[in-house]
Amino acid sequence: MKKNITIALAILLATVTWTSCKKHAPVDEDGLLITTRRDCYVSNFELLGTDFVSVRVGAPVIDTTEQTVKVTVQFGADLKNLYPQFTLAQDCKLDPKITGLTDFSDTLNHKKWTVISGDRNVKKTYSVIISVQP
């Protein structure tokens, strides 16, 4: 019995020593893993109303060269209270972070978000252009 406890403690000690010596993966200020990926683009976009139902009409037009996202919303949608959702290339992050509802009512001054690559070296600023369905 004493021998089994000694072996178990030795294994536990070896495991703790091995895991504490492992090199930690780099993380950014948000606690997200920094990778070697350099892809940096928006692949999809959605706009939700306060009821979390899409107000988008048709598919968004995403131009990765011009770095624009064009989307048409339903007539009567409350442009002051929309929740944007981006789908990004793998390991990318968005700046500024989306923390809640966003005001898109000033359709002449487009909202802008910067997509940052997984290696944190490539940054592309996308303009979101909203139009209202006639």
The arithmetic mean of pLDDT across residues 30-39, rounded, is 94
Chain centroid to CA 6: 48
Q: Where are the chain's structural domains?
A: 42-132
Say how far apart CA 60 and CA 124 lie, in whole Å. Answer: 18
Per-residue pLDDT band at 88 (split at 50, 70, 90): very high
Peptide bond into 60 cis (omega under 30): no
| Statement: residue 99 has pLDDT above 80 | yes
What's the pLDDT score for residue 15? 61
Q: Are 61 and 44 in contact (CB under 8 A)?
A: no
Residue with the larger pLDDT of the pair 114 and 16: 114
Mean model confidence pLDDT for the chain = 90
Q: Residues with Cβ < 8 Å from 101, sequence gap 6 or more?
A: 50, 80, 81, 82, 83
| Statement: residue 13 has pLDDT above 80 | no
What's the pLDDT score for residue 19? 53
What's the pLDDT score for residue 74? 97
Is 42-132 a domain of CATH 2.60.40.2340? Answer: yes
What's the pLDDT score for residue 9? 61
Say how far apart CA 96 and CA 112 lie, in whole Å. Answer: 9
- Of 101, 57, 94, residue with least CA distance to 80: 101
| Statement: residue 63 has pLDDT above 90 | yes
| Statement: residue 116 has pLDDT above 80 | yes
Indicate the pTM of the whole model.
0.79
